[in-house]
Structure 1
Amino acid sequence: MPYNKLAELPDSVKDHLPKHAQEIYKEAYNHAWEQYADPDKRRGDASREEVAHKVAWSAVKNKYEHKDERWVRKSA
């Protein structure tokens, strides 16, 4: 189910990612939720929710990296 607010994100996201990364996660998740509604667009037997979470984490990892126990923005 899509997220309307950052407060609705899973604890694994809210408790570890900075606000900007949470925003990236939310937008990517919501977009993937819509994009992969049709099971034929997903690989294997992954659920719509699983795919959306994978896409969201991938989007975060494009801009942030896990360093010294925290998520920090990647250098340009």
Structure 2
Amino acid sequence: MPYNKIEELPQDIQDKLPQHAQQIFFAAFNASQRDGLSEEGATNVAWNSVRNEYEQSQNGEWHRKAEDTAVHNKAVTSGGN
């Protein structure tokens, strides 16, 4: 069942993840549920979405990944195939 607010996320997720990562989890989980995924499937999608921007350190704390400037600063060109 989709969550109505971030405060409804399981306590262990609230305890582990920073606020922004909780927002990512919340949005990805709810979108997956609306698309018809099971709770387990939506949870997997939500965790994968968090892992796209965050990583867990050796001490278990989650922190945002450093930006990959090669990916974020790609030039966009138009025309031709």
TM-score normalised over the length of structure 2: 0.77
For the residues of structure 1 that align with 2:13 and 2:24, how far apart are their CA atoms?
11
Matched, 1:70 2:61: yes
Give unmatched runs, 5+ long, in structure 1.
Answer: 38-47
| Structure 2 spans left out of the alignment, 5+ residues | 68-81
- Cα RMSD after superposing both structures: 0.9
Which of the pair has more CA radius of gyration?
A: 2
Q: CA deviation at 1:54?
A: 0.4
Deviation, 1:8, is 0.1
Q: Deviations over 1:3-55 (max 9, x none)?
A: 11111001121010000000000000000001125xxxxxxxxxx10001000
TM-score normalised by length of structure 1: 0.82
Number of matched pairs: 66
Q: Report runs of 4+ in structure 1 exceeding 3 Å deviation.
A: none
- Counting aligned pairs with the same residue, the percent is 45
Higher relative contact order (CA 8 A, sep 6+): 1
Match of 2:45 in 1: 55
